[in-house]
Amino acid sequence: MINGKFTLGDAIFALNPLAEISNDFQDNGEELFSTITWHNGNTTNITKEQAEAKLVELTADYDAQEYARKRKEEYPSVESLVVALYDTEDKTAIDEKRAAVKLKYPKPGA
């Protein structure tokens, strides 16, 4: 992922974690399938269409988890959770904060 965007390289590695490639980016930062160099001949069967389809899939999956990333930023810290294990008042406050965060960032489709 570069600048918050998945690359064709990410898609290729998602399709084949053992892929060995190198890639040159254009001056404008655009990544082109034609600039990928395949090494060791073990991944040349991945087509441009397959890589682009996987890129769309990775992006959609990442976008679908935005609520989870936002929740994580606002959830109580692990330290707060540990303290709450020993203090009933703290536990109630933690439960209330988690419930508020879940309400603020609902799970899609829920």
pTM: 0.66
Structural domains counted in the chain: 2
Is 1 part of a structural domain of the chain? no
Is 35 part of a structural domain of the chain? yes
Is 110 part of a structural domain of the chain? no
Note down the domain range covering 84. 67-104
Give 46-104 pLDDT, tens digit per residue. Answer: 888 999 999 999 999 999 999 999 999 998 888 888 888 787 777 888 888 889 999 99
Together in a domain, 73 and 29: no
Together in a domain, 49 and 81: no
Q: DSSP characters for the chain?
A: -BTTB--HHHHHHHH-TT--EEEEE-TTS-EEEEEEEE-TTSSTT--HHHHHHHHHHHHHHHHHTHHHHHHHHHSPPHHHHHHHTT-HHHHHHHHHHHHHHHHHSPPTT-
Together in a domain, 42 and 77: no
The pLDDT of residue 3 is above 80? no
Together in a domain, 60 and 25: yes
